[in-house]
Structure 1
Amino acid sequence: MQDAQQIIDTAHEMADAARRAILPLFRDASVMADNKRPADFDPVTEADRAAEMAMREVLARRRPEDGIFGEEFGQSEGRSGLTWILDPIDGTRAFLCGAPSWGVLIGLSDGQRMRYGLIDQPYIGERFEGGLGRARLTAPMGGRDLAVRRGIALDQATLMTTYPEVGSAAEGRAFARVAGKVRLTRYGLDCYAYALLALGHVDLVIEAGLQAYDIAGPMAVVEAAGGIVTDWQGGSALAGGRVIAAASAELHEAALALLNADEGPVRGSD
């Protein structure tokens, strides 16, 4: 892309702006959450809204022709054919608990695939970027290139997901078939699980019920590090839904077979 450097610089400026908006409110016991979904607990805080507004202000100044799709303030059409997909705090529940596993997610899509993305954790100062020729971690303890782990068989793999129940009962059973075959299964890290896959410490991430803004940034980072991100049938995961990220084609194939075994392709509910 001819404007690759401007895109990269804009993404980093957005992440910096989100950090400034969020950090004064993290681990502040006075910060309250509104519930966006009365039937369930889907929290949003002042920090979520402030971070997305800060990122939108950067885009309005630097790339006004691009579209925007943000979790808190919806979609704004653009004219460039590019859309920024923003999740100001992925893991608001963790944020409310004071746990630093949440992150700021930034992704750039051309409508067919992710071109660039960031996973940023402001509190610990780690930023994972992928796309446009980059796959890199910058962090207080030093930076390094991102690369998925290769040569790991399913029975030696590490699997992560955010919620033990994963999704519907049928989705939970499908996940359990994979979890029963791997060496280690861990829970609860939200977007940070994808960052660890790109860093070479996790081999599979399997989730359900995602929105596009939950996966756009992580997808770009994982793919730039050499991984694979699809839905549970091996198709595009751009729209979210049921997502699998794998470090290798072999692990991806083995996990897909288990996800879709016995009961046939997994449906949204029993």
Structure 2
Amino acid sequence: MIEFALELARRAEADILPRFRNTDVFTKADGTVVTEADRAAERLMRALIAEEFPDDAILGEEYGAQAGTSGRRWILDPIDGTAAFTLGLPTFGTLIALEEEGEARLGVIHLPALGETVYAARGMGCWHRNDQGQAHEIRVDASAAALRDAYVSSTGVYRTHIQPLKADDPMDLGAVIRRAARFRFVGDCVQHALVARGVIHAAIDTEMHPWDNAAIIPCVLEAGGAVASTRGKTDNLVDAPDLVTASSPALLQEIVATLYNEESR
């Protein structure tokens, strides 16, 4: 099944890369942007899944839910980081996940413009394939025992003290920035792939959807990391409204406590 998911990513890339820095941008009803590359890539992946696994359900960012009877559901985000894509930045990715019994069992984070892929399946470890096609198993860097030792990233400032719109209890991202050894706004799925690869120690996304979450979860877990919502919850992560990945449970819990100004959880 992982090979099929990797093939989906490869085929989607053929629709995405020719349109990189060469596509029209549209605004959706919710104010977010979308391109024809998003739509074309998702249409292609849906068609390939329907051909190979006609009884599987599908959920995609651009075309919504399609019911199935097999108990499996493919979750697709053709371009995670559309804002970066439209700006001509290479930090976007294609996310593909397979969910069974409410859990993401398989995940692919494919970075077309960088020629890299991070992928995992439950019980099979997490792997990184470089732009030469060489793959090796990867692990998180668990050397950062606390925030003061950690390299942390975030996608943005939504639902934080900096931009508290849509937040009843905005997160104190500034406190994390002040306490972390180093902090950068890397953004989107790339930052979580970097956690899995052991390049950084933690990544924070303050606004997420199932198509954002699903592929990331098995990749980080299979790399030996920890995943939770910003409230520290680990159940029903595919549907979590936000996400933290970290190289250890202790570091993740310190980030959660810091975001909400609590000593511990």
Specify if TM > 0.5: yes
* Residue 219 (str. 1) matches residue 234 (str. 2): no
For the residue of structure 1 that corresponds to 2:231, the secondary structure is coil
* Deviation sequence 1:193-223 (CA, Å, 0-9, x none): 0110000011111121211101111112111
Partner residue of 1:33?
Answer: 25
Aligned-partner residue type, residue 222 of structure 1: V
1:173 deviates by 4.4
Moved more, 119-128 or 158-167: 158-167
* Residue 22 (str. 1) matches residue 20 (str. 2): no
d(CA) in 1 for partners of 2:176, 2:3: 39
1:260 deviates by 2.6
Q: 1:80 to 1:234 in 2, by over 3 A?
A: same
* Residue 121 (str. 1) matches residue 121 (str. 2): no
Partner residue of 2:96?
Answer: 106
Partner residue of 1:52?
Answer: 42
For the residue of structure 2 that corresponds to 1:195, the secondary structure is helix
d(CA) in 1 for partners of 2:125, 2:251: 24
d(CA) in 2 for partners of 1:102, 1:128: 13
d(CA) in 1 for partners of 2:158, 2:62: 25
Aligned-partner residue type, residue 70 of structure 2: S
d(CA) in 2 for partners of 1:181, 1:223: 25
d(CA) in 2 for partners of 1:223, 1:213: 17
Partner residue of 2:259?
Answer: 259
d(CA) in 1 for partners of 2:203, 2:36: 29
Aligned-partner residue type, residue 146 of structure 1: I
d(CA) in 1 for partners of 2:129, 2:242: 29
d(CA) in 1 for partners of 2:262, 2:222: 33
Partner residue of 1:4?
Answer: none
Aligned-partner residue type, residue 158 of structure 1: Y
Aligned-partner residue type, residue 255 of structure 1: I
CA contact (8 A) 2:95 2:212 kept: yes
5+ residue gaps, structure 2: none
What value does the CA root-mean-square deviation take over the aligned residues? 2.0
Give the count of matched residue pairs. 255
CA contact (8 A) 1:82 1:111 kept: yes
1:164 deviates by 3.9
Q: 1:14 to 1:50 in 2, by over 3 A?
A: same
Aligned-partner residue type, residue 139 of structure 1: N
Aligned-partner residue type, residue 152 of structure 1: A
Partner residue of 1:148?
Answer: 140
CA contact (8 A) 1:164 1:187 kept: no
CA contact (8 A) 1:177 1:259 kept: yes
Partner residue of 2:127?
Answer: 136
For the residue of structure 2 that corresponds to 1:250, the secondary structure is helix
Moved more, 170-179 or 61-70: 170-179
1:262 deviates by 5.2
CA contact (8 A) 1:126 1:140 kept: yes
CA contact (8 A) 1:204 1:246 kept: yes
d(CA) in 2 for partners of 1:177, 1:205: 15
1:126 deviates by 0.5
Runs of 4+ in structure 1 off by over 3 angstroms are 164-168, 170-173, 262-265
Partner residue of 2:229?
Answer: 231
Q: 1:134 to 1:264 in 2, by over 3 A?
A: closer
Q: Percent identity?
A: 33
